[in-house]
Amino acid sequence: MLFTSTIIGALLSCALPSSARPAATAAITSNPYVGAVGYVDPEYVTNVNTSILLDPSITAHAQVVQTVSTAIWIDTIARLPLVASNLQAAAKIATAANPVVIQFVVYDLPGRDCHALASHGEIPVGGINTYKTQYIDVFATNLKGNIGPNVRVVLIIEPDSLPNLATNLATPACAASEEGYYEGVSYALSQLSMRGEWMYIDIGH
């Protein structure tokens, strides 16, 4: 599972008319993690501290892992404001000498997790317009103007969605979700693509 400019470029070409396609930049082909400090999500730190309070025996190990950078899951419309607030927090600690990389998981497709249903989402099958206007468009608004000059943003686009279409179309829910998955991922790529940001697409198990 890799960041690949070839795959991203191909999907963007499908999603955008030629006049709207973003120009290729070095950011797309370089590794955002090299030379960068990982942003530590304060919500994650709070959750780890809560776990320590519930079970003090894990304190030593928990205090180690709570300093590890983790991706911030934006898995509901209600969590979208966390994009702007965490970007602003990252910008405050980022410098030219110590850039910060922050990771968000874009995860709210209509009919999400169609096979396992372990993380079934809030938008039903057929709700592509809701996904576009209330989730992706608002996500993009939260990104714009909040990516500091020394902040690198990694977006993990709808994990385990396209792979489900490769392996689980025999599941009725996945067959019903197919069109929305393709359209939703293409729309996410086209609307969320901007300078200072990298995208990862999960396209294989």
Are the CB atoms for 150 and 96 separated by under 8 Å?
yes
Of 75, 108, 160, 202, which residue is the catalytic one? Answer: 160
For residue 46, which of 37, 54, 38 has the smallest C-alpha distance? 54
Residue 35: C-alpha distances to residues 20, 29, 72, 171, 172 (Å): 32, 15, 21, 43, 45
Catalytic residue status for 160: yes
Question: Which residues belong to the active site?
Answer: 160
